[in-house]
Chain A
Amino acid sequence: MDFILEPWPWYVGGPLITLIMFFLYYFGKKFGISSNLESICAMGGAGKLHEFFAFDWKKNSWNLMFIVGTVIGGFIAFKFMTPDQAILLNPETVTDLADIGFQNAGAQYLPEELFGLDALLSLKGGAILVIAGILVGFGARYAGGCTSGHAITGLSNLELPSLIAVIGFFIGGLIMTWLILPLLF
């Protein structure tokens, strides 16, 4: 039982993700999370704004149920399966983060500096949250998929577009982490 409560290593997490992908295909579906954002827009009446969203989102209800499940799963893991909320980081990472203004790196899953109430209620913090969301949503649909659709499914299927997209994910992530984040904090 102790193993369940400890952080799971990569060689447990990675294969289990593939197992989830297997079951989605076994049940006649696919593995792709970001298309749910389109379904939610359609559900919310975005069909009035743009014809693209006039599709019948109910045909994607299986995928919406999947993300409802992820919310429940996140709650269960948080409440009952993670007695220690610390993330064990490389000391170098902790020092690097302290240098750019992130205190107590790894004390919890998320940094207060980005997700805390103070950040949420400040103009800069709120703007960062909205802009990050816009970049993720816009980029995922422009590229035709996110980490699940491109990095996992697409690469598993040896798709060239997915390889290009994943290279793009890394270019963007490296620019943000190395160049922009230090300027923001």
Chain B
Amino acid sequence: MKNIRFIILGILFGIILSKAEVISWYRIYEMFKFQSFHMYGIIGSAVVLGIILFSFFKKGTIKNYLGDKIEIEPKKKGFYRTIIGGIIFGLGWGLIGACPGPMFILLGRGVLSILIVIFGGLLGVLLYHIIKHKLPH
């Protein structure tokens, strides 16, 4: 069961986002209202440390568990897909205060309503792939 390590990482991630209150709708609301530094501090510190971490990956100072260089897959390019997709995502994030990670974490708290949100998320993914050839990318 090689995947057990990913279950453990997921458990830790669920605890971290719960205890840092990232999964709280209110924390997302106040972020978009610029009324608290909390979420900016979380994302900002994660990114600053991430930039440092990735520079070690690129230099090869930190290798993976097999001793190989760690490669970071570049993101798909395209102005329209990232800006329009981003805005659509942001509308949903601002409304329900949960991005995909927190959706699953909230499920663990027994929040029944989040099942409907996850169902909507799956519908959205299906819809995107069905109509993607008609969209600008």
Contacts and interface: CB of A to CB of B under 8 A. Distances in A.
A70 B101 contact: yes
Contacts of A160: 77
A90 B77 contact: no
Given A139-B91, A172-B88, A156 B116 contact: no
B50 A18 contact: yes
Given A50-B126, A144-B82, A26 B64 contact: yes
Interface string A56-79: 000001110111111111111110
A111 B26 contact: yes
B105 A22 contact: no
B15 A77 contact: yes
Contacts of A139: 85-92, 124
Contact of B11 (A26, A44, A73, A126): A73
A30 B110 CA distance: 28
A115 B113 contact: yes
Contacts of A150: 75, 82, 86
Contact of A72 (B5, B7, B92): B7
A115 B89 contact: no
Contacts of B19: 4, 7-8, 13, 77, 81-82
Contacts of A144: 75-76, 78, 81-82, 85
A159 B118 CA distance: 28
Interface string A162-185: 101111111111111110110000
Interface of A, secondary structure class, is helix
B50 A177 contact: no
B95 A96 contact: no
Contacts of B104: 33, 67, 70-71, 74
A141 interface: yes
Nearest to B43: A151
Contacts of B76: 144, 161
Given A70-B101, A90-B35, A134-B92, A7 B20 contact: yes
Contacts of A21: 46, 50, 53
Contacts of B11: 69-70, 72-73, 76
A117 interface: yes
Contacts of A157: 50, 54, 72, 74-75
A153 to B, nearest CB: 7
Contacts of B30: 89-90, 93
B47 A168 contact: no
B50 to A, nearest CB: 3
20 contacts: A14-B43, A15-B46, A18-B45, A27-B6, A29-B6, A33-B101, A50-B129, A53-B126, A71-B14, A87-B27, A96-B33, A97-B26, A109-B26, A109-B109, A115-B113, A133-B96, A142-B88, A164-B86, A172-B87, A176-B92
Given A133-B120, A156-B50, 10 more contacts: A14-B45, A37-B122, A38-B125, A72-B14, A114-B113, A133-B121, A143-B82, A150-B82, A154-B75, A156-B51
